[in-house]
Amino acid sequence: MPQVIYNTLTGKKEKFIPLKENEVKMYLCGPTVYDFLHVGNFRGAIVFNLIRNWLEDQGNKVTFVYNYTDVDDKIIKRANDEGVETSVISERYIEEFEKDFNRLGLKKHTFNPRVSEHMTDIIEMIEKIIENGKGYVIDGEVFFAIDKFSTYGELSKKKLDELEVGQRVEADTRKKNPHDFVLWKPAKPGEPFWESPWGKGRPGWHIECSAMVKALLGETIDIHGGGVDLQFPHHENEIAQSEACNCTKYSNFWVHNEFINFGAEKMSKSLGNVITARNFMDKYDPEILKYLFLSAHYRTQMGITDDKLLQTISALNRIYSSIELAKETISKVSDKSVQDAGFEKKLKELDQKIKKSLEDDFNSAEMISYVFEGVRAFNALGFSNKAKRSPTHKGQSELFIAWMDKYGKISALFHQDPKFMLNRLDEIMIDLKQIDIKAVESLVAKRNKAREDKNWDLADEIRKELEQIGVELFDGHARGFRVKVSE
């Protein structure tokens, strides 16, 4: 089966053929660096990390560009509020973003350009747009002429006569068409500026990505990605200005990930339900965030609820318990391992299913379900922490670990130390279920004393009481117990 990708531009899945065989040029709109990113901003970073890793796994060389927007109104406002240069703000939040990115264990991009580093490219691009008759200058401000680009609206499926002007900002009567957008704006007092043929000023938001794409990837690229909220006007305007400048197709595929919801509402600062990725990872864990996002198809809206978190923790608990069992088995059996042809065949069958899923528009949700099927197959082999391990168990464990590592590299999952991860998941479950840990510890101590006194009835009663509050005794745990997870 060939690689198939849903193309927002055409509204359908299409066979993916790179411009150059086995080479993929991919651009993803990165953050505007004026604050910590909310958790939804990382859906694109996590999803496109998987896309890039899968394409490379299939033998492609991927050049992946993820930009930093370091010239923007929000950065300027924050800098003015703090009385510092804009570069202080952008450098601060680029550094903070990279801390979060590295905590997620995602693969570094090929390039992370900054807008401020590409002013010459931006100005040259605007000059060419004007030269091609698609831009015009008024009072030192450069506008793109929408009427000169006949396919405007093709990506977002919007029609110009249906768009409203003046809802958010006052309509500019100087424009030839009310929908014309800014390519270059004159400098205002207290703002950073660059010299240009039209006077001191700075670029409009949309032209920035077009110029960085052209400078680093060329006039036409294979895949352009971003959140669904960027389809209009940002990506629509990118297409218009890039194709007006270069006179060739801008991107063959447009790939957009959907919103993240908290409960039934879209994440929004006005609703007060935004949580930063930093806070989420501190409260829960980077592994939980990645698993959450990849357990849903990137084109589906998904909610982050307590129930969803509990399901994710339960799944990761089972996965890491199996990894721990496999690693312990390998370390405990000194004899040479014996391979299990039946188990190996099962994993190869799952390989084919996962390949088919990822070839079908990068269906990570199906991939995760088949990984879980591999975990169940390993657990069904019938040995446990208490069983005596054999060379066959060692061989099965080696196969399983190698198999999990393969999909861990593609997804950036399953690479944590299992003992650490299981304890971490337990702590999160205690917090989510609001379990009184001191009361539990007291009951466990009473049960241990009852067992020492050979008071088996009392010990059994305490065990049942623990089970009722969601706790199970577990000899391998540092505390001697852990929070029960749903099956």
Q: What is the pLDDT of residues 22-69, one digit of tens each?
A: 999 999 999 999 999 999 999 999 999 999 999 999 999 999 999 999
pLDDT at 304: 86
pLDDT at 411: 98
Distance from C-alpha of 351 to C-alpha of 355, rounded to nearest angstrom: 6
Distance from C-alpha of 257 to C-alpha of 243, rounded to nearest angstrom: 24
Q: Residue count of the chain, please give it.
A: 487
pLDDT at 431: 84
Distance from C-alpha of 184 to C-alpha of 207, rounded to nearest angstrom: 8
244-290 pLDDT, tens digit per residue, is 999 999 999 999 999 888 655 554 444 456 689 999 999 999 999 99
Q: Which of 121, 148, 124 is nearest to 135 (CA)?
A: 148
Q: How wide is the angle at C-alpha 307 spanned by C-alphas 285 and 443, nearest 5°?
A: 80
Tokens encoding 259: 């919103």
pLDDT at 269: 47
- Kindly give, in sequence order, each residue whose CB lies less than 8 Å from that of residue 269, ignoring residues fewer than 6 positions away: none
Sign for the CA dihedral angle at 274, 280, 286, 290 comes to negative
Q: Indicate the domain borders of the chain.
A: 4-257, 304-416, 435-483
**Number of CB atoms found within 10 A of residue 40's CB:** 24
pLDDT at 266: 54
**Number of CB atoms found within 10 A of residue 149's CB:** 18
Sign for the CA dihedral angle at 64, 23, 208, 12 comes to negative
438-479 pLDDT, tens digit per residue, is 888 888 889 889 989 999 999 899 988 888 887 877 655 556
106: Cα within 13 Å, side-chain hemisphere? 27
Tokens encoding 36: 């910590």
Ordered alpha helix ranges (H), 218-305: 236-246, 277-283, 286-294
**In angstroms, what CA-CA distances link 213 with 6, 103, 280, 402?**
21, 27, 32, 37
166 DSSP assignment: S
Q: What's the mean pLDDT in 150-178?
A: 77
pLDDT at 169: 44
Q: From edge to edge, which strands make up the β-sheet containing 265-266?
A: 265-266, 260-262, 302-303
Asked if residues 201 and 236 have their Cβ atoms less than 8 Å apart, the reply is no
CATH class belonging to 4-257: alpha beta
Q: What's the mean pLDDT in 299-322?
A: 91
Full-model pTM:
0.91
Tokens encoding 338: 């014996």
- Of all helices (H) and strands (E), which one includes residue 127? helix 119-131
73-99 pLDDT, tens digit per residue, is 999 999 999 999 999 999 999 999 999
| Mean pLDDT, all residues of the chain | 92
Tokens encoding 406: 């393969």
364-408 pLDDT, tens digit per residue, is 999 999 999 999 999 999 887 666 889 999 999 999 999 999 999
pLDDT at 480: 66
pLDDT tier for residue 166 given thresholds of 50, 70 and 90: very low
430: phi > 0 → left, psi -120 to 50 → alpha, else beta; which?
Answer: alpha
Amino acid, single-letter form, for residue 59: G
Query: Which percentage of the chain shows pLDDT scores above 90?
Result: 77
Strands 12-15 and 23-28: unpaired
Asked if residues 172 and 204 have their Cβ atoms less than 8 Å apart, the reply is no
Strands 181-186 and 141-144: antiparallel
pLDDT at 70: 96
